[in-house]
Chains A and B, each alone.
Chain A
Amino acid sequence: MTDSLKKERSNQKGAEQTTGASGALSLHSAAKSNWKDWLGLIPFFLFIFAFMVIPAGSLLVGAFQNRDGSFTLINFSHLLKPNIISSYLITIRLSATTALLGGLIGFLLAYAITIGGLPEGVRSFVSTFSGVASNFAGVPLAFAFISTLGRVGLVTVILKTVFGIDLYESGFNLYSFWGLALTYIYFQIPLMVLIIQPALDGMKKEWREASENMGASTFQYWFHIGIPVLLPSLLAALILLFGNAFGAYATAFSLTGGLINIVPILIGAQIRGDVLHDPNLGYAMALGMVLIMAITILAYSWLQKISSRWVK
């Protein structure tokens, strides 16, 4: 997925480069491409239509219907009910928190293995491991954190017996907001490493040397050169991490048993047993989630396009 986004970026780059010749090119290919060529795409588009377009479309339609099937906008005003608004707010807070913290640690780690000058072996180990860890989510990840920070988890016990810090006495609970956040950060860090690495690779050594030769401090270098150059890539990565957490269901479900009030869990509960007592409100909720994800991906693509000016 990450890669598909990256790919999209490089395609856009390619598109920009060829726009000059596009007039001639499209004429040429229009003459060559036959309407029969399109027949070859029918099976694929039938599948896409049946299992992506129809399901998404049916939710869209359902969100604008009342129980009798006639048109209404009432479902969207019901989205403002306190429990639904609060579930959106908690999900946004959870996604933003884990994007920022995971993004920060991931950035520092990516910095260490690129510009930081660590040996090539370390770099390839961290890259490989990031690939694995970003795919390690859902039920097993929840179990790993229960074994670590649960009531009898290893770190909980060590903190208590060796350092005299009782996490659960001091208000921490793995099955609440911060527990879930710490668990999400586990897959956010490696994703950040994978996304931001190309941007850091694009930071030229000469920029730093030039700024140092002119007497700039480390702070000045980052403030005037590093951060401005990296800003679009950084924002794009953080936005992608935000969406990554916003859509996650499996980890939250298996960690909290469905007891935390976040949007994916609420939608899941609605599917399993109409907890909202209103199917159409459920469709509106799902539509709200799709909208947020769509905005996320649009913002990501736009920022990546800007950052591709620097990252070559």
Chain B
Amino acid sequence: MSNGKTGRKALSWVWLVLGLAYFFIPLISTFLFSLKGKKGVLSFVAYQHVFADPNFLKTFTFSLQMSIYTILVGLILIVPTAIWINLKLPKVKPLIELFSLMPFVIPPVVLAFGLIKSYARPPLALVSSPALLVAGYVVISFPYIYRSIDTGLTSIDLKVLTEAAQSLGAGWGSILFRVILPNLRTALLSAIFLTFATVIGELTLAVLLAWPAFGPYMAHVGRDLAYEPAALAILSFMMTWGSISIIQILSRGIPGSRSNVGGLH
């Protein structure tokens, strides 16, 4: 029997190596490729080219702005709603859960199609405004934001906290900003970084709604150059890694928040 166990463990190491090889070979290749910008030697010249390109800064700033707007709109819309539902209307939860599946059922490419069809013509010609892009991003990141906030809310005793604050004479404003939100710090930060990681390099909505965002810029660089795209891929990977690591460090020890971060496409 112990023989079977050692065999099983050895096999497990084999599967681990196999899986990690699939993860790491492309990353290592990309990194080495990104160092080959100068013929014959390994150098960071491709990274210098990336940073020196004015369009890099321009598009990155644009996407950063969009992600900030998305985070603000998303939080302002979803946080009060999630608190309200948990406090007053828990029976609405299944309905919200249903809506949180919608971004999966309506993939970004179809969402872009619907947004353009609905808002291209005069009564509501929003297509030329970045507001429509932000609205689309809020739709895409809504399940992540709602999930983080709801996990945070169920891990604190919302009702007791609220009633305690009320009995001490607190109004709704101070209940929200001085009692509930400080207790949701981790959940809020998770939502913020997850939204940032989703929006910063997003391609589909940006390209189809024709905005000069970071995703389309990267795709454009990929058509013309060889080593700079590899450098951009490494930089993006580091940003994703950074965002997700921060979330996982923050949410350590909070039940139900462990695998908050599986991304669907």
Interface string of A1-19 (1 = CB under 8 A from B): 1111111100100010000
- Are A249 and B204 in contact, CB atoms less than 8 angstroms apart? yes
**Nearest A-chain residue to B261, judged by Cβ:** A131
Q: Which of A261-305 contact B (CB under 8 A)?
A: 264, 267-268, 270-272, 282-283, 286, 289-290, 293-294, 297
Contacts of A238 in B (CB 8 A): none
Q: Within the complex, what minimum Cβ distance (angstroms) separates B70 from chain A?
A: 12
- Are B244 and A132 in contact, CB atoms less than 8 angstroms apart? yes
Instruction: Kindly identify which residue among A54, A132, A218, A247 contacts B104, using a CB–CB cutoff of 8 Å.
Output: A247
**Nearest A-chain residue to B81, judged by Cβ:** A44
Q: Within the complex, what minimum Cβ distance (angstroms) separates B257 from chain A?
A: 8
Interface string of A235-260 (1 = CB under 8 A from B): 00000000111111111011001000
Contacts of A51 in B (CB 8 A): 115, 135-136, 138-139
**Nearest A-chain residue to B84, judged by Cβ:** A40
- Are B15 and A112 in contact, CB atoms less than 8 angstroms apart? yes
Q: Within the complex, what minimum Cβ distance (angstroms) separates A277 from chain B?
A: 16
Instruction: Give the interface segment out of A70-78, A145-153, A160-168.
Output: A145-153
Which of A44, A133, A143, A189 has its CB near the most chain B CB atoms (within 10 A)?
A143
- Are A41 and B84 in contact, CB atoms less than 8 angstroms apart? yes
Q: Which of A29-49 contact B (CB under 8 A)?
A: 29, 33, 37-38, 40-41, 43-44, 47-48
**Nearest A-chain residue to B89, judged by Cβ:** A37
CA distance A249 to B78 in the complex (A): 27
Contacts of B201 in A (CB 8 A): 138-140
Q: Within the complex, what minimum Cβ distance (angstroms) separates B165 from chain A?
A: 18
Contacts of B13 in A (CB 8 A): 112, 118
Does B45 count as interface, using CB distance less than 8 angstroms?
no
Contacts of A3 in B (CB 8 A): 147, 259-262
CA distance A208 to B222 in the complex (A): 51
CA distance A251 to B108 in the complex (A): 13
- Are B12 and A194 in contact, CB atoms less than 8 angstroms apart? no
**Nearest A-chain residue to B259, judged by Cβ:** A194
Instruction: Kindly identify which residue among A37, A58, A187 contacts B263, using a CB–CB cutoff of 8 Å.
Output: A187
Does B236 count as interface, using CB distance less than 8 angstroms?
yes
**Nearest A-chain residue to B241, judged by Cβ:** A132
CA distance A194 to B23 in the complex (A): 15
- Are B23 and A1 in contact, CB atoms less than 8 angstroms apart? no
Contacts of B109 in A (CB 8 A): 247, 249, 264, 267-268, 271, 289
**Nearest B-chain residue to A185, judged by Cβ:** B22
Instruction: Kindly identify which residue among A109, A115, A141 contacts B19, using a CB–CB cutoff of 8 Å.
Output: A109
- Are B244 and A7 in contact, CB atoms less than 8 angstroms apart? no
What is the total number of residues of chain B having a CB less than 8 Å from a CB of chain A? 103
- Are B215 and A289 in contact, CB atoms less than 8 angstroms apart? no
Contacts of B207 in A (CB 8 A): 253, 268
- Are A140 and B29 in contact, CB atoms less than 8 angstroms apart? no
Contacts of B89 in A (CB 8 A): 33, 37-38, 40-41
Q: Which of B81-137 contact A (CB under 8 A)?
A: 81, 84-85, 88-94, 97, 99-118, 135-136
Q: Within the complex, what minimum Cβ distance (angstroms) separates B249 from chain A?
A: 9
Q: Decide yes or no: A8 and B110 within 8 Å by CB, A2-B264, A148-B26, A154-B32 being known contacts.
A: no
Does A225 count as interface, using CB distance less than 8 angstroms?
no
Instruction: Kindly identify which residue among A40, A129, A140, A267 contacts B218, using a CB–CB cutoff of 8 Å.
Output: A140
- Are B81 and A250 in contact, CB atoms less than 8 angstroms apart? no
Contacts of B152 in A (CB 8 A): none
Interface string of A114-140 (1 = CB under 8 A from B): 011110001000111111111111111
Contacts of B104 in A (CB 8 A): 1, 243, 247, 293, 297
Contacts of A268 in B (CB 8 A): 109, 204, 207-208
Q: Decide yes or no: A155 and B29 within 8 Å by CB, A146-B229, A250-B203 being known contacts.
A: yes
Does B253 count as interface, using CB distance less than 8 angstroms?
no
Interface string of A61-96 (1 = CB under 8 A from B): 010000000000000000000000000000000000
CA distance A15 to B222 in the complex (A): 50
Q: Within the complex, what minimum Cβ distance (angstroms) separates A113 from chain B?
A: 7
Instruction: Kindly identify which residue among B28, B150, B215 contacts A138, using a CB–CB cutoff of 8 Å.
Output: B215
Q: Decide yes or no: A148 and B215 within 8 Å by CB, A52-B106, A58-B118, A250-B265 being known contacts.
A: no
B binding-site residues for A, Cβ under 8 Å? 1, 4-5, 8-9, 11-13, 15-16, 18-20, 22-23, 25-30, 32-34, 77-78, 80-81, 84-85, 88-94, 97, 99-118, 135-136, 138-139, 143-144, 146-147, 150-151, 197-198, 201-204, 207-208, 215, 218-219, 222-223, 226, 229-230, 232-233, 236-237, 240-241, 244-245, 247-248, 256, 258-265
Between-chain CB contacts (< 8 Å), 28 pairs:
A1-B143, A40-B84, A40-B89, A43-B77, A47-B138, A59-B110, A59-B117, A106-B19, A108-B15, A111-B15, A116-B11, A116-B12, A117-B12, A131-B260, A133-B23, A138-B201, A140-B218, A140-B236, A143-B232, A147-B33, A147-B230, A154-B28, A190-B23, A250-B202, A253-B207, A268-B204, A290-B106, A297-B105
Apart from A139-B236, A249-B109, 16 more pairs, CB < 8 Å: A3-B147, A55-B106, A55-B114, A59-B113, A59-B114, A117-B5, A131-B244, A135-B240, A135-B244, A140-B201, A190-B262, A194-B262, A268-B208, A293-B106, A293-B107, A297-B101
User: Which 6 A-B pairs give the minimum distances between C-beta atoms?
Assistant: A55-B114, A116-B12, A247-B107, A2-B262, A109-B19, A154-B29
